[in-house]
Structure 1
């Protein structure tokens, strides 16, 4: 069977104009795995409130980070795809979960090239309902409806793979070289606490009580919180970070329900108030820099830190199309091509 690869990232509006941002936000926020409340309530919230207030604000944020080539997330994902394609001997397509570069188009591109077996590669190190799961569910729906003879395998969360941790750690170390920082904050995209409990295959382990993520359980295979904390632990171990010089936080909360804590903005504020003058921040839930890293962290986070008396605020780039990251993903793909065993 001829093989091919479909890389899938989050997505982006077609432009930073409010009309395009509204369209994108509508698709994103109406996903039942993003805002997981009944359809009637979700429709009232998203179409009745959020889409009447948020698009202009989000469009202004997108304009701050938009590149001449387009959306940073799209451009960086395309660069990653191009570099990987040069290293592997099968077609590599790119798709986004939301927006105009759809998963359906990506699968069709591969089928048109004669591909019969696809490695679906969600570009998320950690598993979450609102990221990996929604990609897998939609891909299977599309396969059944439009590509019934297509075989699809997926890459599971790779947050704890030693070669990934090494690449991530080396990148952090490289970008901090020569920097006189006192504190390193690992900031991950936030999710509502209920998502963690919904993803608990044991239906009893996840209590978000400060101990469950450190207690071995099969629930960890799909526990976003555990996987984030584990990345921090493994990188800190690899870089020999001193206890008390780093921590984990969660960004980008929405609404009034409890989300994973501590919150990134409040953590940055607290560090500034405590007298930390030089801090660095890394965002390992993302492989590509995007609105959440370039505007929310690099701009808003820095502003908060300076307001609290901080001096130097270093934002570490995502892995993006870093050559070592490209080599790693290409190796995993080659392993799959040669063995037909899941990566």
Structure 2
């Protein structure tokens, strides 16, 4: 399995139309948060802006995507992100949900999702969401270490996270949890504790975000005063890979790794420091792909290919994952050839393979 595949298999792929409500409903501002610097053009302030925004996205879908991909049938969902949705007054929630729910009833979109905090999830609140057809709730957990949460300005407990997940599961919602790595006060032990507890909660999917130092945040002040050191890109890639592997082995989908890049972030130089990369998920997935191929070749080396110099080895991979396995600038392939010096190693697509499947074939020359 590769990143995203488990979630896609269980719940179908979905194109998200994001509606950002920057910091709306939030009880306080977390030390790492500056929503206005990272949300791009989907930012809205009032419910009157919801319907036109979604229609603009739908027009793009109809005029652009279907020209490129005739028969396009991917699910389309509207997501209310960027704030604490269930922290809004109930009538404000209804005002935002009504125009989106109308588009669902008209068959123009397929579903709704919201993001919120674990300490703002209640039975009454979930009944309201369900009445408008919300199917997916994404919860900003960030960490299960309460000291890390306190330092980040997330004033809730691990018990509240567990209770929130129980309520969501009881209400029949698809559950997504957001995690952050590299927060102040975090240690390898606390990271391990967090992923252990999240796996026990068994959400449907997880998003993993390495902590970035954003302009205008409390974390920027801490960084400039020398009181916070962000992860390097290599550190973040390795930690995200470890989390992803553990989640996927537990049949939990990994929906995204890293902050999505928008032009506004680059234009305004929003990221002061930290492991930002526009395709961090691809870096992680490619690293996982290398380890899987190396493991496969290692097993073959001690088996039927033992002692083989001048062997020709073909690694067959799913067609749509070919570039991931080969790696950026052929990095994975070159590393394998260096490690297994004397073997001629090739990576080729095989349409018969399912996502994440691999096969190794030795090419034997016919005798002369």
Q: Does TM, scored on the shorter chain, surpass 0.5?
A: no
**As a proportion of its length, which structure holds more strand?**
2
TM-score normalised according to structure 1 size: 0.29
Which of 1 and 2 has higher RCO (CA within 8 Å, sep 6+)?
Answer: 1
- TM, length-normalised to structure 2: 0.27
